[in-house]
Structure 1
Amino acid sequence: MEITKPATRGQDNQLLSVGSQTSPIYCSFIPKWLPSKKVLRTDDNVIRRREINSNLKRKAQENLHEKPAKLLQTQLEPNYLNVLTTQDINAIRQSVYYVRSKSLPKLPKSTEEAQDSLDKINVTILADKTSVTYGKAFSALCDHLNLQVVFVDFEEAIHIALQKMWPSVNIKGCGFHLSQSWWWMIQSVGLALEFRDKDSGIGGAVKYLFGLPYLPPSDVLDCFTDDLMAIKPIDDKIDKVFDYIFENYITPDSRFPPKMWADRSSAFSLTTNGCEAFLSKFNKEFNITHPNIFKVIDILINIQSETQMKARNHLIV
């Protein structure tokens, strides 16, 4: 028996299938917006991309100090290589940055607020590099430290602050920064090529200057005036180099006298390489030029905790 219902104009006519028999019943009550088979079909690649993105965002929140590139390398499986494109990688990286930025606290609005966030560790954020600022930083440490020897670079402001806070402190200049300062002077007068030329008399005379840090402080002045000046070629450029070193480093009353940087017994250890190595490792913890201050604090706290643990277990050598 066939039951036929006229279709209303403007409505879709659908053929209703019941069991194994097809009844030509025109049903105007079936909505037009019901999803078709094509709409219900899901793209597997899209699901995988979303899964990868979700996993990486979760890992980024759990490991805030891990670089996004490293997260991608460790989390991506080989079977994902045919799924992701360059645009997908860039989108995932941006989502990692975004989810991390949301997890960080509000940035401080002043230097004082930043200082208040560093109560757990002995780290000071300096507004500038004047002797007054250095003095304020050292005044917070003077009750906890009794410095006898300190290794710093050749910066007068920090030397003045150290001597004012600890009058008997023995200031030692970094050998690396000493050589760097002299080399900059050599470059500024245009003697870099002569310095690299093994057959150049001017270059040879300049190279002898770098042997002065290996002498006892009391012998530096005599060696410079009696030995090095005697073999110095006549040249305006080399005269500028010798005058600069003599005025700033050679005499006992110069800005940086020999007792600060010359030491035959421990010349190889008179550097701040340990500090430079720490800064290099510290900088590698960040993947942007200007990181969030709270991220900096978290990394410093982790380093401080690790150092204290090693100190308690006598692992520091």
Structure 2
Amino acid sequence: MPFIPSEQVIPFFCIEATCLSPIDPRIEELEEYVLKNYIESQNFLPSMWASQDLSRPRTTNCCESFHAHFQKFFQNSNPNIFTLINRHGDVQQLTLMKFFAISKGGNAKTRKRDRCQREKEMGESHTRIQRSQNFEI
């Protein structure tokens, strides 16, 4: 159904999908769930997820990319909770920087050298903030 135009999702689901589904209580339960949560609900309107726009990503590559990037921050598989929180804040700052660049008409894609420089500057500013909080300055 994600490839059907959003205005045709409800007729398609009500006519085609329910007529073609096998008679099985589990399938009926799934159909009721989809109808309740994704078609009739105001939380996830079909206009949010049903689109024929080919320019929108249809994969989870962006999620995989985020996870790979986030994972590079840690030296072991069980990091200290404070390290995890600090690194999450760093990633959030990078994301906000990209968001503001895009909202001002810029480009979110940056050269690796520029990104590395920004990450280094963020690390230095983070260290200064920690020192000031610990009264080391």
TM-score of the superposed pair, with normalisation by structure 2: 0.55
Cα distance between partner residues in 1 of 2:108 and 2:9: 39
Check if 1:281 corresponds to 2:69.
yes
Deviation at 1:255, TM superposition (A): 3.0
Give the corresponding residue for 2:37: 248
Cα distance between partner residues in 1 of 2:108 and 2:26: 51
Check if 1:316 corresponds to 2:104.
no
Check if 1:265 corresponds to 2:53.
yes
Larger RCO of the pair (alpha carbons < 8 Å, separation 6+): 2
Give the corresponding residue for 2:11: 222
RMSD: 3.4
The alignment-based identity, stated in percent, is: 29
- Check 1:316–1:231 CA distance in 2 against 1; reply closer, same or farther (3 A cut): same
More helix, by proportion: 2
Alignment of 1:51-130 (within 5 A): none
Stretches of 4+ aligned residues off by more than 3 angstroms: 270-273, 294-299
Cα distance between partner residues in 2 of 1:223 and 1:259: 14
Cα distance between partner residues in 2 of 1:298 and 1:240: 42
Check if 1:239 corresponds to 2:32.
no
- Check 1:292–1:240 CA distance in 2 against 1; reply closer, same or farther (3 A cut): closer
Alignment of 1:137-286 (within 5 A): 212-251=1-40, 253-266=41-54, 268-269=56-57, 273-286=61-74
Whether the aligned pair in 1 keeps the contact of 2:73 and 2:87 (CA below 8 Å) is no
> Alignment partner of 1:256: what SS?
coil
Deviation at 1:248, TM superposition (A): 0.6
Q: Deviations over 1:8-30 (max 9, x none)?
A: xxxxxxxxxxxxxxxxxxxxxxx
> Alignment partner of 2:2: what SS?
helix
Greater radius of gyration (CA): 1
Unaligned runs of 5+ in 1: 1-211
Unaligned runs of 5+ in 2: 102-106, 111-137
- Check 1:240–1:224 CA distance in 2 against 1; reply closer, same or farther (3 A cut): same
More strand, by proportion: 1
Deviation at 1:215, TM superposition (A): 0.9
Cα distance between partner residues in 1 of 2:29 and 2:44: 18
Query: Alignment length, in residue pairs?
Result: 98
Whether the aligned pair in 2 keeps the contact of 1:250 and 1:257 (CA below 8 Å) is yes
